[in-house]
Amino acid sequence: MKKSKKKLPLVIEFTGVPGSGKSTIAHLIGEKIEKNNLRVFYYDQYFSRTSHKRFLQLKNILFNIVPFTKYFFLLLKLTKKCKKDYLSIKYILASLLNYGGKYILYRSRKYDYVIVDQGIIQEIESITCYIKGEKNYNLLYQFIHDNFNMLIIDVNVELNEALSRINKRKAGASRIDFIKDSKEQLNNLNIENDTFISMRKSNKCVEHISITSSNINENVSEIYNFIIGGKND
């Protein structure tokens, strides 16, 4: 695959329901790529430093006001026909605050690869999965295609397996991690999984591969070979 698009880093963005193994696979593939003396940045390192620092978030927005405005209008158009409640508005505002940092990293020439397990697509899914109405997801993928050099890794998992992982982990941050009833957890996983299926069907222009996270090592090898191996051109 082509690594460069206007000399931008390749953003490897993982998508999938909570408990699908995104973070685990993301870090393993990043470590494997780094062994080739390539510059890799993990977005979760940046997010953990800035997610609660409003000054830095606002600074990133002010210095990138034009792309921020484009993203703002993308969110408006994407959810134009949706009925929004307090929670969805909260997620929209959080996504807007985070976008300035993402834009800087996704277009930074300091890195060869940016590894993201909670990226733009994941945030859009969080915004839209619980609100009713028609969502124009093709606008999202066209926006990504026009602004970034991205490879999407769609991570699939049996929902009962995802639920088991969620209940075993200690530091999960998804909304499902805070639900105590297992039936309600599974119902929410189904809602999110259906949203991802709908989103993925809308992707006609951004390169992507689909994996199943039941065998982590096989997945890492498959992704690595796709990025670094014989499919480079």
Residue 63 lies in a domain: yes
What pLDDT is recorded for position 114?
95
Please state, in angstroms and as integers, the Cα–Cα distance from residue 222 to each residue in 14, 201, 209, following that order. Answer: 14, 22, 10
3 assigned to some structural domain: no
Q: Is residue 5 part of a domain?
A: no
Q: Residue 102 belongs to a domain with what CATH number?
A: 3.40.50.300
pLDDT band per the 50, 70, 90 thresholds, residue 51: low
User: Is 4 within the bounds of a domain?
Assistant: no
**Predicted confidence band of residue 18 (pLDDT cuts 50, 70, 90):** very high
Task: Dump pLDDT digits (tens) for 61-110.
Answer: 677 788 889 999 999 999 888 887 887 888 888 888 888 888 888 998 89
Full domain range(s) for residue 91: 10-227
* Structural domain total, the chain: 1
Written as one letter, the residue type at 230 is: G
Which pTM was predicted?
0.88
Asked if residue 2 belongs to a domain, the reply is: no
Inter-CA distances, 163 with 119, 196, 216, Å: 21, 17, 17
Would residue 139 count as lying in a domain?
yes
In a domain, 40, yes or no: yes
- pLDDT, tens digit, 9 for 90 and up, residues 177-207: 888 899 999 999 999 999 999 999 999 999 9
Residue 118 in domain: yes
Enclosing H/E stretch for 197: helix 182-202
